[in-house]
Amino acid sequence: PSNALVLSEISSEADNQPSLPLFMFSKDHRFGAISIQTDFGAIPVIQELNDELSLFDDDAWTDDFDEGMDDNAVIQKIEYQSDEPGLYIPFMKAITAITEQPKMLEHFNFYPIGNSAMISLAMDTLIQAAFLLVGMVAIINLLLWSLFRSASAVVLPQLAIGLSILFVIGSLSWLNLASTTLIALTVMLIIAVGVADCVHVMSSYLFFRRDGKDHDEALSKAYGKTGVPILLTTITTMAGMSSLAVTGMPMFVQFGFSSAAGVFFAFLYTIYLLPVLLNYWHPMQIKKTQVISASRKTGVRSIVSLLKSKMLSFLCFFVNPLAKLSKRMGLNWLLGAEWLQPLLNRIPAFVERFRYSIAIIFVSVFIICLYGATQVKIDSNLVELYSDDVPIGQAYEIVDEHMMGTGNMEIVVDTAISDGIMDPDVLNAMNRLQNTIEENYSEFIIRTNSLADLVIDTHAIMQDSEDYRNIPDSQIAVSQLLYLFNSSNPEERRALVSDDYSKSHISVQLKNAGSNEYKEFFKDIQRDINKEFNGLIDRYPNIKVQITGSFALMMRLADDISNNQFKSLAIAAVVISLLLMITLGSFQAGVMSIIPNLIPASLAFGLMGLLGVPLDTDTLMIAPLIIGIAVDDTIHFISHYRMSLAQNHNMKLALVETIKEVGQAVTFTTLILGCGFLMLTFSDYLGLAKIGTFGSLAIFVALLCDLLFFPALIMIFKPKFGQKDVEDNLNFIEATK
């Protein structure tokens, strides 16, 4: 209507309808709602008829209506087409195509919420994550080239990553297991472990080549130094990831075991395939012109040589412009790692001079982080997982503030007796519960609705008096009111109560909040439910009143997942610590390796607690990645030190060799993986961004633990790891004078 008076009358009438305000429009009439109900998951699957049966078979019909029942007849449950997430994406695109038309945007702002909007957003997030992973791999490749200046150093780790990922995804397909969103984290772990294993081998190989050893001797010595540590890191990382299976939740069980399988396959590649490939393609600094000229001079046209030259040409096409740019900026010394060995040579004297200060600083940081970790709040909030630039946050805020709220739950009342819901005592209990929770939990609940409200409204209308706005005392009167309602609107009646009137529900409209807040809310609601309905147990011994609904289930599930993951990570830390003691063959070595391993993980969680960053299901995934990388570097450091100590029986020489050889490898892996993980900080999905931020921070801290803290512990406690006649003179300061 165009008449303002008519519109005002309609508006006033709509405001007086209990079911319309907040559901269909805001109280100030600024916002309205369009509710779309799809048939996804509600379309029955048409069963094919048996060939022997036909609807047109005359012999199948009979005029004998007295014929008995067929005792062998089977009543089949109706099957419905699956409610797959893929159905919502084209649906949301169709809606967006309408709402983003210029004529629409000229007059309205649209704020889509619900499953379709969230699934579409999740798909956009996965696409962005895929691009970030590509960027992460690109940065890793660039750093591999810069640090090793060799095409094989770039290609061979990528083979380890690619084959391991292919193995995991292929195994999941063979086992008929669907990939979950956690597959991205499995890929990250495989990238971290695969690159670390290959870098340790190639770094050690280059160290010996530059020391004057030929190819065969350098390769043999490299595997002699790194083979056992790689095996130990594989065992500990697999044990840590497998411990996630204790959650009992299929998604995390699959994530734990698939990640462990990927780590194991990366180990097989590094031990069995990498040395064969290194035999054909040495990671030495060979310029493109040298390869081409050598090829022309010797006339070699083998497939391997051709592939090497083509691969090198391809890499040079991308890398040469960056190399020229870095040369003009004077960064060649940085990207070429020319500064690394001189820096590593100074570390022993520096650590000796400040060994107690270094130990005190690291232990203090560890204690502070442990305190911060105790302050971590486990909380999952769907909207807060995205940055402020993502429109979904604004949509949820507007709907929570002006409309009916973005969440809902159902309190199902099942009396287990026909016509039990018609009992005025049951309806009064439902009404009292609604009033109680609306009054006590107004920060969460916007409004409630149930069959009791309908009975109260209908009673007042039929009596034409507000004095009768209550539930009748007689069950007969209640049944008459419900009979009238069922006659006028049977579909709405079925939405409120079952056909036999034994079961009904209270719909509760909720605001969005974190799982930690709703955890206590659900406990309080359950206590109120018990208080109101316990008095009916004598008359309805099988009565059940339960909280249900997708929102309530999601909040409980998120909190349970987080708590179970936290427990599994504690188990992982204990298992890894025990394995370190066993595999290193020394209680002393195991104890000394535990704290350097725990500091990076405790730093991430400690900072979250101190900065008030909630710990959700995504940030909990940081720990396996951190522990895996930190354990790798620490085991390499300790194993190399023990082997060198057993060979030389000289603590000073063993420490110097370890810092020079392993220090180079752990620095390379830290730069490569740390910078790679920094790419994830650009994600709009804050769960992934936090993994990038805290993960890269922990990776760099793990390097400091290996190069500073662990040598300081050796200089203070002088562990001999079961070796006898060890020279324990660790005076580096005089040697540098």
Instruction: Give the per-residue pLDDT at 402.
Output: 85
Instruction: Give the per-residue pLDDT at 443.
Output: 86
The region, left, alpha or beta by phi > 0 then psi within -120 to 50, assigned to residue 337 is left
Instruction: Give the per-residue pLDDT at 530.
Output: 92
Does position 675 have pLDDT exceeding 60, yes or no?
yes
- What's the whole-number average pLDDT of the chain? 79
- Give the Å distances, CA to CA, from 88 to 100, 114, 123, 126, 362: 18, 11, 10, 15, 51
DSSP letter for each residue of 516-534: HHHHHHHHHHHHHHHHHHG
Instruction: Give the per-residue pLDDT at 297.
Output: 44
**Tokens read off for 256:** 């734990």
Confidence of residue 415 (pLDDT cuts 50, 70, 90): very high
**Tokens read off for 586:** 């020394």
Does position 717 have pLDDT exceeding 60, yes or no?
yes
Confidence of residue 64 (pLDDT cuts 50, 70, 90): low
Q: What is the mean pLDDT of residues 637-645?
A: 84
Query: What is this structure's pTM?
Result: 0.73
Confidence of residue 355 (pLDDT cuts 50, 70, 90): very high
Maximum Cα–Cα distance across the chain: 115
Task: Encode pLDDT of 66-97 as tens digits.
Answer: 555 556 655 566 676 776 777 888 888 888 89
Q: What is the mean pLDDT of residues 514-520?
A: 77
Instruction: Give the per-residue pLDDT at 629.
Output: 66
Does position 320 have pLDDT exceeding 60, yes or no?
no
Does position 293 have pLDDT exceeding 50, yes or no?
no
Cα–Cα distance, 382 to 616 (Å, whole number): 10
Domains identified in the chain and CATH numbers: 348-389+558-737 (1.20.1640.10), 391-556 (no CATH)
2-6, 608-612, 645-649: range with lowest mean pLDDT = 2-6
With pLDDT > 70 as the criterion, what percentage of the chain qualifies?
A: 80
293-297, 388-392, 415-419, 631-635: range with lowest mean pLDDT = 293-297
154-168, 271-285, 286-300, 307-321: range with lowest mean pLDDT = 286-300
Task: Encode pLDDT of 429-481 as tens digits.
Answer: 999 999 999 999 888 888 898 999 989 988 888 888 888 889 998 999 999 88
**Tokens read off for 668:** 């390379």
